[in-house]
Amino acid sequence: MKIELLPEGVLSAARYIPSPYRDIRPEGTIIDLIVVHGISLPPAEFDNDYIEAFFCGELDSSAHPYFETIKELSVSAHLLIKRSGEILQFVPFAERAWHAGQSCFQGRERCNDFSIGIELEGTDDLPYEKVQYEKLAKVIKALQQVYPAITRDRIVGHSHIAPGRKTDPGSVFDWHYLDCLLIA
């Protein structure tokens, strides 16, 4: 499946579900960073619609005890790649998604301003699915066509931009495998 960026800032291969948790990037911002995240709701549970509900401000906090601890958060990402390989998009790339929080990359703070956030359905300690890596690599290649400042050294994990605060996508994330897919 070919993945390309459409003029409205969404991927051709993504199911678009608009999140209210977004805003305009600062004027003149060059998008030059991809931040890879890992998420599961509830923790270590997959194949449900809770992440989508969370990113859209529709998560029922009574559905699971963990949800009570996150009910006040306003979080989104540009993309979610589910364990099945399905790609969901919540925020057009030209807009700022609220994924990085307090963060810093190479001395630049507020990574949400200049980055694209891609969530993978998973946890820090369970291997991600092969199809997730394949889709992630295709997405990155499509984004690099539109945003050439996103070079390989500007594809990082949430843990790289928020060390001590975040650990995702986790120690099981196979950066070498992603690199191999990106050069293939």
Please state the pTM of the whole predicted model: 0.97
Residue ranges and CATH numbers for the domains of the chain are 15-183 (3.40.80.10)
Mean pLDDT of 3-27: 95
119 is catalytic: yes
Residue 1's SS3 state is coil
CA distances from 87 to 36, 68, 93 (A): 14, 27, 14
What's the pLDDT band for 1 if we cut at 50, 70, 90? Answer: confident
| Res 130: pLDDT | 98
Catalytic option among 119, 121, 129, 134? 119
pLDDT class for 127, splitting at 50, 70, 90? very high
Contact at 8 Å (CB) between 38 and 120?
yes
Instruction: Read off the pLDDT of residues 86-115 as tens digits, 9 standing for 90 and up.
Output: 999 999 999 999 999 999 999 999 999 999
Percent of the chain with pLDDT over 70: 100
Distance CA 107, CA 109 (A): 6
| Mean of pLDDT values over 33-39 | 98
Q: Contact 93/4 with Cβ under 8 angstroms?
A: no
